[in-house]
Structure 1
């Protein structure tokens, strides 16, 4: 996917469904910056890390049968880039007129979408500072994303002392 190399450390174990996070404790795409901060601050993330994690929206798309939302965030949803951040600040966004949950579409092509939580990143001064930095510097985004995604993946995992992280070679 041409993104950064993400270190991996074995040790996380699957749990029974009873151990899953209850509803309301994960980010809600329909909410704004206060909600985003409440969710991620509770897990020990700061504003810079929150914005870097949001950059994962460069990949994939929403599907109505899963989330209710529909569409990709970028024109290249199978390649990791800083395009998500560039599009957030460079495109004009409007509410999509449809029978689904409130989401935004780009005014120009009407083929991209942003969630209310995405738009919150450019409506908040502290978040916007990082959106602009990542839009201007793909290498900085990759470096920060690699660090914070590892933090997220390893959150709450009781690794055995001395467990090393592995970095797999990419074929590029």
Structure 2
């Protein structure tokens, strides 16, 4: 897909809100009584705090979605390693530089950012093989919900906030635009 086609798609999705799951405009976002998770006969259902109300005070990105990294950095949430909170997260402080990005800045994948709230088993061995250069990740596959797209664009920030991943400028890539 050409750079212009990607940009056009990103602008369209950013403007129409299609890449913003969980918001009221999302046709898949149903009220609690109809979402298939909550008991519609429970009289207290309407007493539950609405997600928009619960998440409103958290930092947001330029698309209006919660910036979970900033939320964690500001200690507004405290993820647990287990249900009882008896163990701690095993933070892996390594980075992987992904250079197969064509004209885009390279991607520096921060394990620490992810392992502050996710166990290794969330990503390995599926969707990522824990082998150097063992995953044929493309932007097309991410947009189809594979690899990074299993979370990004669903429960993590949109893949259309390019600068969150494409951080390392190299010869042949555009200068920082953010």
Asked whether the two chains share a fold, i.e. TM above 0.5, the reply is no
TM-score (norm 2): 0.28
TM-score (norm 1): 0.28
Q: Which structure has greater helix proportion? A: 1
Name the structure, 1 or 2, with higher relative contact order (CA <8 Å, separation 6+). Answer: 1
User: Based on CA coordinates, which of the two structures has the bigger radius of gyration?
Assistant: 2
